[in-house]
């Protein structure tokens, strides 16, 4: 029987946490009773530097329910980092597989049995894939689906309609721990790991309480991270565009010469102004895109720790205090 860990990143989730814990706890106990998960399976709630009562709820409940564990990050590091810290903590506790899910339980927990079945059949990675987006707003649906298509066009291998609801086996976790990038985009990294993988389809529902912790700004940043961390095609596009512009201007130059000799030249300053602005705009865009890559390189080379664990609770008692994220291991990145 596999030792299963659930990892749930939480940021200001006091409204949903009690209910989530109740539902997940029921699910885990049922899995244990059915002989699908080992008795020492656990749930790990990662408090991503919440400003509300999230951590005190985790602390309190972990005292009452031995299946509930917690990890407290020293400050808000974002969903991906919080999830990663939970995955690594689960790995350190010797779990056989981890299932990551959101605190709002938008992802149907009834398919967890299928996740574990696939794992038992030998899959190291099982992706949870939504079979529809009917419940999403029109805006979210079109932007999200457009984004998946755009990523595909840029040559990034991501699973369509899969977010961070997935199972990872211990081998996949080991592989994942070797990825040291600071700008984390897990759904781009996981397909790179390899091993046998499979899909589980489910219906995604609405948040049962509270509101989304992913405002538009965070979503855009996350989307750009995904592109710049996995594709250099935008850089190539810029140079192609540059070549195209040169060809156009050459044609324009020839046209100007011809019209001059034919005596039909216009005193055309508007066209000159327009082209100056156009070329200027293109250059700025180009520099901007290059800049965003340079910025990312900058943050990667500094190798700052991705997160810092302030406290961990496992089996109802404090486990470890103060622990740096992956990149800080060898002590050279104390900045
Ligand atoms: N989350 C987090 N840190 C953040 C933002 C979000 O740990 O800075 C967590 C949040 O608590 C939730 C998950 O990430 O468990 C997904 O967030 P949310 O449900 O708000 O996003 P949505 O489903 O609206 O895309
Ligand atoms: Mg959600």
Per-chain residues with Cβ under 5 A from ion ligand 2: 102, 104, 106
pLDDT tens readout for residues 7-46: 999 999 999 999 999 999 999 999 999 989 999 999 999 9
Does any ligand 1 atom lie closer than 6 A to the CB of residue 49? no
% pLDDT > 90, the chain: 38
Of 57-71, 288-302, 321-335, which gets the smallest average pLDDT?
A: 321-335
Q: Provide the pLDDT confidence category of residue 333 given band limits of 50, 70 and 90.
A: very low
Q: Provide the pLDDT confidence category of residue 283 given band limits of 50, 70 and 90.
A: confident
Instruction: Give SS3 for 272.
Output: helix
User: CA-based angle 70:71:73, to the nearest 5?
Assistant: 145
Residue at token pair 């810029």: 238
With the most atoms of ligand 1 within 8 angstroms of its CB, the residue from 213, 219, 225 to mutate is 213
pLDDT (mean) for 309-316: 85
pLDDT (mean) for 249-256: 81
Q: Which ligand is nearest to the CA of 86?
A: 1
Classify residue 322 by its DSSP letter: E
pLDDT (mean) for 213-235: 84
The 10 Å CB-count burial string (b at 16+, else e) for 300-319 is eeebebbbbbbbbbbeeeeb
pLDDT (mean) for 234-243: 83
pLDDT tens readout for residues 123-170: 999 999 988 777 777 888 888 888 888 888 888 888 888 889 999 999
What is the rounded CA–CA span in Å between residue 206 and residue 138?
14
Q: Which ligand is nearest to the CA of 13?
A: 1
What is the rounded CA–CA span in Å between residue 148 and residue 216?
17
Does any ligand 1 atom lie closer than 6 A to the CB of residue 158? no
Segments in the chain forming alpha helices (H): 14-33, 54-64, 79-92, 112-120, 138-153, 170-177, 186-193, 216-230, 233-261, 269-301
Specify the pTM.
0.79
Task: Give me ligand 1 centre to Cα 215, in Å.
Answer: 10
Q: Which ligand is nearest to the CA of 106?
A: 2
Does any ligand 1 atom lie closer than 6 A to the CB of residue 82? yes
Task: Give me ligand 2 centre to Cα 106, in Å.
Answer: 6
pLDDT at 21: 93
Nearest CA to ligand 1 atom 11: 10
């Amino acid at each position: 029987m596999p030792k299963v860990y659930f990892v749930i990143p939480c940021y200001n989730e006091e409204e949903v946490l009690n209910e989530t814990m109740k539902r997940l706890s029921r699910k885990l106990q049922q899995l244990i009773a059915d002989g699908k998960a080992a008795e020492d399976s656990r749930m790990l709630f990662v408090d991503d530097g919440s400003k509300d009562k999230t951590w005190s709820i985790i602390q309190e409940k972990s005292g009452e329910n031995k299946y509930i564990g917690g990890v407290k990050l020293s400050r808000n590091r974002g969903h991906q980092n919080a999830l990663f810290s939970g995955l690594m903590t689960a790995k350190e506790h010797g779990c056989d597989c981890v299932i990551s899910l959101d605190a709002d339980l938008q992802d149907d927990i009834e398919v967890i049995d299928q996740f574990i079945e696939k794992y038992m059949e030998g899959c190291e990675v099982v992706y949870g894939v939504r079979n529809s987006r009917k419940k999403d707003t029109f805006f979210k649906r079109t932007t999200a689906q457009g984004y998946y298509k755009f990523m595909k066009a840029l040559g990034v291998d991501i699973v369509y309609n899969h977010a961070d609801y997935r199972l990872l086996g211990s081998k996949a976790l080991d592989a994942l721990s070797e990825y040291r990038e600071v700008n984390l985009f897990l759904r781009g990294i996981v397909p790179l790991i390899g091993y046998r993988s499979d899909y589980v389809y489910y219906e995604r529902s609405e948040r049962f309480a509270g509101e989304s912790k992913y405002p538009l700004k965070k979503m855009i940043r996350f989307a750009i991270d995904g592109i710049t961390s996995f594709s250099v095609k935008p850089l190539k596009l810029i140079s192609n565009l540059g070549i195209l512009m040169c060809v156009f201007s050459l044609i324009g130059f020839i046209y100007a010469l011809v019209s001059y000799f034919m005596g039909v030249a216009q005193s055309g300053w508007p066209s000159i102004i327009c082209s100056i602005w156009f070329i200027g705009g293109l250059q700025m865009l180009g520099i901007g895109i290059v800049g965003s890559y340079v910025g990312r390189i900058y943050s990667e080379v500094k190798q700052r720790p991705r997160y810092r664990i302030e406290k961990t609770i496992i089996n109802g008692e404090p486990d470890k205090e103060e622990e740096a994220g992956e990149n800080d291991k060898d002590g050279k990145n104390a900045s």
